[in-house]
Amino acid sequence: MTAVGTRSALRSTRPRHFGRVLNWIGQHVVLSGLAVLFLAPVVFVFLTSMMTSNQTLTATIWPDPWTWDNYVRAFTQVPLVRWFANSATYAVLATAFMLASSIPAAYVLARIRFRGANILFTAIIIAMLLPPQVTAVPIYVMWSKLGMTGTLLPLILPNLLGDAFSIFLLRQFFLTIPSEYADAARIDGNGEWGVLARVIIPMAKPGIAATAIFMFFNSWNDYYGPLLYTSENEQWWPVAIGLASFRSSHGGDWGITMAITMLVMVPVVIIFFFAQRTFVEGIALTGVKG
């Protein structure tokens, strides 16, 4: 990969053909042009979030004067802190519960042969691919009978019993660890839990991190679940619901809406930059490997 890269780089600095230079320029013009288009939406959101309320009502693109007022109002006039706290509670607990239940299950599916393993694995794959709306009614009835609708618990608690996509992903990561390591640990007198804790988990840290990040993002971004369970109880609204309902409940104030939109994007982007490698490798794995 690196070798190929340097060779081509040499080629483009000392072109043999004029056409190749044109080609290079053409490709980079297209790449940069599209990149500007891709970044523009976020830039416009930011610019509008820095305008005064009056300015957002006029046909302007550039703020004059610049003001942080919308961000101040977002925190003082809107229950933004509570929305974020709810989103964080949902995402952190769902991720922690998922890890506790799905890591052991993925380990068994990756490393231990048993009767019914194929059926179980097929069930996990169907559960992972099935549109959630297919099973939504009976699950809603179940939580309703337990008196838990109106809270985020119906979205958090099921993770104690494993999450199909996470089990699948973790298992794919565990399979890449040579079984000799586990065998050696067994000979040293470890039970399956010992092998999992001392060998598999330390060696699969990047895979576990990727799975955890996916789970965290999915819960943080989830709209359908919270809409179904919390829409009638504002106390439990996560930020996704709060933001979606904001314009209808607060009139057409685009300035403050854009400030909240910026604030919703920021945590996800920060996490991404800290875990970029893990994340991108995880995505590639879900679609390609195997």
Partner 1 sequence: MLAPAVLGLALFFVYPLLASIYYSFTRYNLVSDPQWIGLRNYQYLFADDPNVWQAAGNTLWFVAVMVPVKLVFAFAIAGLLTRAKTATGLWRTLYYLPALVPPVASVVTFVFLFNPGTGPVNLILKAFGIDGPLWFNDPALAKPSLLLLGIWVTGDVMIIFLAGLLDVPRDLYEASGLDGANGVQKLWYITLPTIVPVLLFSLVTGIIAALQFFTEASVASSVASGKVSIGEGAGAGFGYPENSLLTYTQWLYIRGFSNYQLGYASALAVLLFVVAAVFLTLLLRRFSAFTPDEATR
Binders of partner 1 in range 242-261 (CB under 8 A): 243-245, 247-249, 251-252, 254, 257-258, 261
34 binds partner 1 (CB under 8 A): yes
Of the two residues 65 and 131, which places its CB atom closer to partner 1 in the complex?
131
Least Å from the CB of residue 22 to partner 1: 13
Binding segment for partner 1 (CB under 8 A), chosen from 63-71, 138-146, 182-190, 201-209, is 138-146
By the rule CB under 8 A, 123 interacts with partner 1: yes
> Residue 120, interface with partner 1 (CB under 8 A)?
yes
Q: Which two tokens stand for residue 76?
A: 């003082």
37 or 187: CB nearest partner 1 = 37
Structure tokens at 176: 């890449």
Verify binding: residue 287, partner 1, rule CB under 8 A: yes
Q: Which of 21, 161, 188, 194 binds partner 1 (CB under 8 A)?
A: 161
Q: Which stretch binds partner 1 (CB under 8 A): 72-80, 121-129, 180-188, 204-212?
A: 121-129
CB 229 within 8 A of CB 215: no
Choice from 21, 85, 146, 265 touching partner 1 (CB under 8 A): 265
**Site for partner 1, residues 184 to 243, rule: CB under 8 A:** 192-193, 196, 217, 220-221, 223-224, 227-228, 231-232, 234, 240-241, 243
How many other β-carbons are positioned within 10 Å of the β-carbon of residue 149?
19
* Least distance in angstroms from the C-beta of 79 to partner 1: 14
Q: Judged by CB under 8 A, does residue 31 bind partner 1?
A: yes
Q: How many CA atoms lie within 13 A of 71 on its CB side?
A: 11
Site for partner 1 (CB under 8 A): which residue of 72, 81, 85, 130?
130
Nearer to partner 1, 120 or 203 (CB): 120
Total residues contacting partner 1 (rule CB under 8 A)? 108
Q: How far apart are CA 233 and CA 265, in angstroms?
A: 24
Pick the piece of the chain touching partner 1 (CB under 8 A) from 75-83, 180-188, 201-209, 278-286: 278-286
Query: Which among 75-83, 139-147, 182-190, 199-207 is the span making contact with partner 1, rule CB under 8 A?
Result: 139-147
